[in-house]
Amino acid sequence: MYAAIGIIVLLLMVFGGFALTGGALGPVMHAIPHEMLIIGGAAVGALITGNSLHELKAIGGSFGKIFKGPKHTKQDHIDAIALTSKLMKMLKSEGPVALEAHVQEPQNSALFAEYPSILANQPLTALICDTLTLIVVSSGTLEVHAVEEVMDNAMKTHFHEEHEPQHALQGLADALPALGIVAAVLGVVKTMGSINEPPEVLGGMIGSALVGTFMGVLLAYGIVAPLAGRLKQVLDADEQIFHAVKQVIIASLHGYPQPLVVESARSGLGHAFRPGLSELLDALRGR
């Protein structure tokens, strides 16, 4: 939502300020469609050239994340910590056999059914279940640092894939000023081909060419780069729930008491999503 508001404010201030200082919007508006055809077409072509179909779909889907904001709510973080804590408590008190059915078929687990938002989050559920399945089949013989390394690798791969659209948008922002110059140079070439025209005609043609440079810079630093930055903020926020789950598993394997396990996971969350310690403990007690 704020991204959309920001773009509207940007356009109003730039074009409104230009008009208020005596600039004529007519020639600019007349040139924008032609310049945008060149700049926008080149930008789309560059994206297609540098990305696979899968990545292009991801770039398209990333705009939903930009305008909607982080996917995980504060309650999702509470649920993730509570679910993982209950699973680790089951492992400790009832043994690997009792835990096995829950992590191998989470869709049929009564425990996972208590947290439908977590069950619907496939990457997060996979991280929990794959890690605990590894612990189950190893009968508790794995060293804690080995489990942590496996989880770090899994999260690193997932986060890398999630950030690909952000890198593509940032790369596009870096390229747009140069694409604007391409459009401007073509405008100058066109102008030079009409050098025998009167000065007022040549002035209009040169002005149209300069609009290409203006649009390239405006799109790069006013729209695309901020969108890439906002996408990074959203993705970073959505990663916190994975780190919380990891912290619960690792702290539990170290044998820490449950309040300390919960606190170690809670304290790593950003303030926007961090629940109170008593709130988390109440969730574990089923209140």
pLDDT digits (tens, 9 = 90+) for 136-175: 988 767 899 999 999 999 999 999 999 999 999 999 999 9
Residue 88 in domain: yes
pLDDT greater than 90 at residue 258: no
Which residue segment(s) compose the domain that 197 sits in? 27-287
Residue 142 in domain: yes
Residue 20 in domain: no
Query: 179 falls in which pLDDT band (50, 70, 90)?
Result: very high
- The 10 Å CB-count burial string (b at 16+, else e) for 47-64 is beeebeeebbebbeebee
Find all residues with CB under 8 Å of 273, minimum gap 6, and list them. 70, 72, 73, 74, 77, 237, 240, 241
Residue 173 in domain: yes
Give residue 208's pLDDT: 83
Residue 169 in domain: yes
Residue 15 in domain: no
Query: 272 falls in which pLDDT band (50, 70, 90)?
Result: confident
Give residue 197's pLDDT: 76
Percent helix, strand and coil across the chain, each to the nearest 5: 85, 0, 15
Of the two residues 189 and 286, the one the predictor is more confident about is: 189
What would the two tokens of residue 46 be? 């560059």
Residue 128 in domain: yes
Residue 19 in domain: no
| Type of residue at 251 | A
CA atoms of 250 and 248, how far apart (whole Å): 6
Domain count, the chain: 1
What would the two tokens of residue 127 be? 């991280």
Give residue 114's pLDDT: 92
Query: 286 falls in which pLDDT band (50, 70, 90)?
Result: low
